[in-house]
Structure 1
Amino acid sequence: MIRTMKLALLASTVLSGAAMAEDVTLTIESWRNDDLAIWQEKLIPVFEAANPGIKVVFAPSAPAEYNAVLNSKLDAGSAGDLVTCRPFDASLDLFKKGQLADLTSLAAMANFSDVAKSAWQTDDAASTFCVPMASVIHGFIYNADAFAELGIEVPKTEAEFFAALDKIKADGTYIPMAMGTNDQWEAATMGYNNIGPNYWKGEEGRKALIAGTSKLTDEQWVAPFRQLAKWKDYLGDGFEAQTYPDSQNLFTLGRAAIYPAGSWEISGFNTQAQFKMGAFPPPVAAEGDECYISDHTDIAMGLNAKSAHPEEAKKFLEWVGTAEFANLYANALPGFFALNSTPVTMEDPLAKEIVGWREVCKPTIRSTYQVLSRGTPNLENETWNASANVIKGTETPEDAAKRLQEGLASWYEPQK
């Protein structure tokens, strides 16, 4: 009897050990360190409940360090199983180096349009290497209480936009617009590539630049710089030294009336701002003009080609490609709009307002992200610098455009 019990206990222990051994832990690499709680509390538990035996750990890096940290880990063979993918060339380089797996045959890929997948495909679209998750939309977020207090209507045209800025400046209660040039990237991302699509007609202009049939010195590419040069008078004292977090604080503390924005700000602004907010798309030149928005494919997820658990990781990626994930993610992170073909009903009013622009404006992506930043000088980084200089007044719009064109033509054959 004792021997039988010992054998039973031994068998139980072995079986228990085997069950425990079957548990697999997947690690997600990401630059979105502000999303940690959302992944831990709202996303991962849903997947784990449906997939017993698979545990998931979200392990982000600081955004500015992510590319370097990820590349180092991938080279060393220590990266996580799942890799959050930046759009276009950064991820394409990883795929070409054999560090991201080909996910073309993943069943969930059928849930995405060709446009949604284009940011994570080879140039010939033959291979897709990341599952699209979300895009971000550019425009302007404003303090609705300040607008009501000053009797300002939401601007639709450039003339109305500058009239609103003039009125805010004349009143003196608020800084008209919260943006600095210290960090440079926001001058291009929330400046040049925010207002620019209305000038170069979105995808039409972007593709013409890639084809070499348009140059950065053409009027439609210089004109956005001319508008940026006018912003200087509305950014408040010391904007040259103002960092990105400084600008966020100025707006959420109620000291500035307008914030040139990316929709990713919504979650943070909702928790920090004590006033009602609204949003408007980049104003057009004249009433009735067609409007364009930067609806930028921003984030996706891929598979580390050297993952020790590729099948379990693919299960997770299949789930990332479902309507269930799209709905959970888009509403947990309002402002990161789902790329899944199944429509998501947004619960957040500001996010709902911004995503509604898709119904009236033509979408495009940031002009520098596909193909045009593969060489040296890097057009994306150069556009940061040029945009900041133009706003500060240290470079004219024409000189900035000429410098960018010369840099691009120095290495990009269609522009020579």
Structure 2
Amino acid sequence: MSFLTIKGAFRHMAKIGVGVFALATLTAEAGDKLVIESWRNDDAKVWNDVIIPAFNKSHPDIKVTFSPTPPADYNSALQAKLQAGTAGDLITCRPFDVSLALYQKGNLEKLNDLEGMNNFPDVAKTAWSTDDGKDVFCLPMASVIHGYIYNKEIFKELGLSVPKTESDFFKVLEKIKDESRYTPLVMGTADQWEAATMGFQNVGPNYWKGEEGPKALIDGKEKLTDPEYVKVWEHLAKWKPFLGRGYQAQKYADSQNLFTLGRGAIYPAGSWDITTFNEQADFQFGAFPPPTPDGQKTCYISDHTDIGIGLNAASANKKEARIFLSWMAGSEFAELYANQLPGFFPLGNHKISIKDPVASEFLSWRGQCEQTIRNSYQILSRGTPNMENQLWNVTVQVLNGSMEPKAAAEEVEKGLKTWYQPHM
């Protein structure tokens, strides 16, 4: 072999070495960074400015990037990333079946042995556990609570008291309608989901007795045509005169705007609305739980497990991801999250102080009322037709006056009977 040939071979080997070194460097740099996938693109500033810097105080060597996707695109975008092997290390989890499907496909790591998981009671872990309860695949982050937010200044102007019973509730609505220019109940039906979420799931727990209802529906011991469900739609049918002009074309954002402009008195709410109203309303507002049916002593609220976070089974940074998840399982994260995002309530057993007065009011109901989840989220929406989507559709029709409550109940029960054995 000639000198020139040997020299060329060394040059070729050197180039390969540089390439391997560069690739190794890039891989190392990628491995030093955790990426969080999330549908919550409205709280990016909180993660970037508060939560991640707080974590880095004790773990400066682990870099974390929050990478949100718009909510409507999240499920499909996440699926595409998981299939392509480009998804982040940490996956923000929707409750129940959507995340369970990811776990069953092998996309999420089992977290039974995660340090800090024992800070969460079984009821908090239910939304991210297998049906038999043996495996947990996402760390519970927060729940949201349903109720009503009201304009305190309008209540004072009209001499109104916060209603405790349903008869009180409708008397208050009547007085607002008859004696003022304000819309009594600020909600539209154009987007559909509000009707089910802030209507049916808000009012319903007082009728189906909290956790008893979902369990009985899953077991087939109760049907949606039973009186306790028909009565929910009967209650909602009585909202129609109080929803304001043109509510059938009113979208969710329209309702938020109407309330923050001071044009409505009562807003059927999820606690997540608190932040929006804090930013936009220039009046004092408060909250009250769903009034109980007359004569009923126990109150029930929807305290719905809403958001968790899991570990991508294909992550190259599992050790660092577990460190971050264990930190999230502690009291420091719980307090930061609850106060930076009023209306999202930690699910652990930590004692924390919530500074926002309206969020604190919502949270106080846990000590007064029994809690449950939205009854369509666990098991009952796995088939076709999807129970959650059916609830949207029929509840809108009831509120619009185009369907009778009994017919709404029959329609949803008929859907379950087509695919869910305990209801056949």
TM-score w.r.t. length of structure 1 = 0.94
Q: Which residue of 2 aligns with 1:219?
A: 227
Partner residue of 1:234 out of 212, 235, 242: 242
Q: Which residue of 2 aligns with 1:3?
A: none
- Given that 1:263 and 1:354 are in contact with CA atoms closer than 8 Å, whether structure 2 keeps it comes out as yes
Show the 5 A alignment for 1:169-208: 169-208=177-216
Show the 5 A alignment for 1:33-72: 33-72=41-80
Amino acid at match of 1:197: P
Provide structure 1 residue ranges, at least 5 long, that are not aligned to the other structure.
Answer: 1-13
Q: Which residue of 2 aligns with 1:313?
A: 321
Give me the whole-angstrom Cα distance separating, in 2, the residues matched to 1:92 and 1:343: 29
Superposed CA offset, 1:279-314 (max 9, x none): 110011125521000000010100111112111111
Q: CA deviation at 1:54?
A: 1.3
Amino acid at match of 2:70: A
> What RMSD in Å do the two structures reach over aligned CA positions?
1.5
Give me the whole-angstrom Cα distance separating, in 1, the residues matched to 2:387 and 2:334: 32
Partner residue of 2:147 out of 135, 139, 163: 139
Give me the whole-angstrom Cα distance separating, in 2, the residues matched to 1:257 and 1:95: 44
Amino acid at match of 1:297: T
Superposed CA offset, 1:138-195 (max 9, x none): 0000001100000000001111101111111112321111100011001000000000
Give me the whole-angstrom Cα distance separating, in 2, the residues matched to 1:162 and 1:415: 34
Provide structure 2 residue ranges, at least 5 long, that are not aligned to the other structure.
Answer: 1-21
Give me the whole-angstrom Cα distance separating, in 2, the residues matched to 1:138 and 1:24: 40
Is the deviation greater in 134-143 or in 58-67? Answer: 58-67
Q: Which residue of 2 aligns with 1:289?
A: 297
Count of aligned pairs = 401
Rg larger in structure:
2
Q: Which residue of 2 aligns with 1:353?
A: 361
Partner residue of 2:411 out of 378, 387, 403: 403
Q: Which residue of 1 aligns with 2:390?
A: 382
Q: Which residue of 1 aligns with 2:381?
A: 373
Q: Which residue of 1 aligns with 2:265?
A: 257
Give me the whole-angstrom Cα distance separating, in 1, the residues matched to 2:342 and 2:131: 31
Change (3 A) 1:234 1:46: same
Q: CA deviation at 1:384?
A: 0.8
- Given that 2:299 and 2:368 are in contact with CA atoms closer than 8 Å, whether structure 1 keeps it comes out as yes
Partner residue of 1:301 out of 309, 321, 333: 309
Matched, 1:108 2:119: no
Is the deviation greater in 176-185 or in 166-175? Answer: 166-175
Which stretches of structure 1, 4 residues or more, deviate above 2 A after TM superposition?
A: 20-23
SS at match of 1:59: strand
Change (3 A) 1:21 1:218: closer
Give me the whole-angstrom Cα distance separating, in 1, the residues matched to 2:272 and 2:345: 9
Give me the whole-angstrom Cα distance separating, in 1, the residues matched to 2:69 and 2:240: 34
Give me the whole-angstrom Cα distance separating, in 2, the residues matched to 1:61 and 1:223: 39
Superposed CA offset, 1:43-92 (max 9, x none): 01111221122111111111122111111211221111111101100000
| Sequence identity (%) | 57
Q: CA deviation at 1:23?
A: 6.7
Amino acid at match of 1:80: G
- Given that 1:121 and 1:128 are in contact with CA atoms closer than 8 Å, whether structure 2 keeps it comes out as yes
SS at match of 2:374: coil
Amino acid at match of 1:240: Q
Give me the whole-angstrom Cα distance separating, in 2, the residues matched to 1:50 and 1:212: 50
- Given that 1:295 and 1:364 are in contact with CA atoms closer than 8 Å, whether structure 2 keeps it comes out as yes
- Given that 2:343 and 2:359 are in contact with CA atoms closer than 8 Å, whether structure 1 keeps it comes out as yes
SS at match of 1:26: strand
Is the deviation greater in 71-80 or in 398-407? Answer: 71-80
Amino acid at match of 1:154: V
SS at match of 1:107: coil
Give me the whole-angstrom Cα distance separating, in 2, the residues matched to 1:161 and 1:61: 39
